[in-house]
Amino acid sequence: MEKLVVTGPTPLKGEVTINGAKNAAVAILPATLLIDGSCTIENLPNISDVKISCQILESLGAKITWIDSHTITVDSTNISTTKAPLDLTSKFRASYYVIGAMLSRMGEVEVGMPGGCKLGARPIDQHIKGFEALGAEVEVAKGKIHAKADKLVGNSVYMDIVSVGATINVMLSAVLAEGTTIIDNAAKEPHIVDVANFLNTMGADIRGAGTDMIKINGVEKLAGGATYSVVPDQIEAGTFMLAAVATKGDLVLKNCITKHLESITAKILEVGGKVEDYGDSIRVYCDKRPKKASIKTLPYPGFPTDLQPQMGVVLSIADGTSTINESIWESRFQYTDELNKMGAKITAQGKSAFFEGVEKLYGAPVCSTDLRAGAALIIAGVAAEGVTEIYNLEHIDRGYEDIEGRFRAIGANIKRVVED
């Protein structure tokens, strides 16, 4: 078993280069299944979710060549099966994108029920509603999803709930459909725009991504040959921004799009941190105890749920009592039990949590309950006095590349240890 051992407190200082976005990468990779030919994807984060995505593509017949640790070529000319291995697809959430892409390309697909972080109920009814609106038949049974369509025809799809996954998945299924699809009440996250940009680079006709109405004019074919670079990771950048505040540090984050970070910047300024915005890089520093704040997580451009636990660390040591209302996932406060082991005073009730700020956190053995909770615990460990041991690293490795190396480079005393 592996664990991270963090000894604090240390103010984090220096420069971090932000990687390509996990949530864009895990959608762009299945989107390559739509291409009759090969394409090159650059700025891929080297994380386990990307490696599993590549394995799924290979199992379907695509050929993948790693050019370097962040660049691959995918040749999807010969897709040989419509059945994606159940063990791989059930390993993470974004495997559901294989459904939209394969329906579009092959007219049929079978995948395992998507896995991923246990953040509460994670239904896929809006994905299914979209596929069915375009003419597919979808059956969910015995841990599998089977979808089939003789022909996909564009239609209007109104999303009952703003869903990142359903918006991208319906977009994927509509790219090669006959006629026009309109997605209303679409999600607007930066990675939705990135997937649309990628598909348009390959010959798709998608307009309006980044607004709540996306129009997809179906095309007959996507051709390869192009190179595309994945958008910088808004959540990774936000994680380091909040790490700077929690540890009273001073970080410059390079290769980010600061426009995507506005909700995080606003909250950092509210708690007393300082932010200097240079457009494609950002400096965040803080030299005093953070002030209290109220946070409500919302779809983009609101405060992202995927930064809620990292913000929770800042509020756990803020001066005064803060609240967080989580409006996306019902079980996103599991990390608060772990922070309480470190001396925090947090009471979570349903979708709200109350943070009675303490002056200091103290090192303790803790468990990463999900991906972003793991990142939060690393930040807490760096800010805390003493030694923190973090277990269940597989969650963290799904979404952050070389997390300990990158924290070490900015001054953290952190190492990965193998334990019997």
Cα–Cα dist 113/91, whole Å: 9
Residue from 67, 151, 156, 161 that binds ligand UD1 (CB under 6 A)? 161
306 binds ligand UD1 (CB under 6 A): yes
Two structure tokens written together for 76:
């999807």
User: Any residues with CB less than 8 A from the CB of 417 and at least 6 apart, and which?
Assistant: 2, 3, 4, 5
Give the x/- contact pattern for ligand UD1 in 16-35, rule: CB under 6 A.
-------x--x---------
Cα–Cα dist 144/90, whole Å: 9
Pairing of strands 180-184, 213-217: antiparallel
- Cβ at position 372, least distance to ligand UD1 in Å: 8
- Cβ at position 120, least distance to ligand UD1 in Å: 7
Q: Which of 291, 246, 287, 251 is nearest to 383 (CA)?
A: 246
Helices 97-106 and 22-31: crossing angle, nearest 10°?
20
- Residue number of the CB atom closest to ligand UD1: 165
Give the x/- contact pattern for ligand UD1 in 340-359, rule: CB under 6 A.
--------------------
Catalytic site positions: 117
125 binds ligand UD1 (CB under 6 A): yes
Span from 32-40, 160-168, 317-325, 385-393 in contact with ligand UD1 (CB under 6 A): 160-168
Cα–Cα dist 283/291, whole Å: 19
Whole-Å CA distances, 294 to 270, 310, 323: 10, 14, 5
Pairing of strands 13-17, 250-254: parallel
163 binds ligand UD1 (CB under 6 A): yes
165 binds ligand UD1 (CB under 6 A): yes
Residue from 105, 127, 260, 406 that binds ligand UD1 (CB under 6 A)? 127
Tell me if 232 sits within 8 A of 18, measured CB to CB.
Answer: yes
- Cβ at position 329, least distance to ligand UD1 in Å: 6
Residue number with CB closer to ligand UD1 (235 or 414)? 235
Residue from 305, 322, 369, 388 that binds ligand UD1 (CB under 6 A)? 305
Note the residues at the interface with ligand UD1 (CB under 6 A): 23, 26, 93-94, 121-127, 161, 163-166, 187, 305-306, 328-329
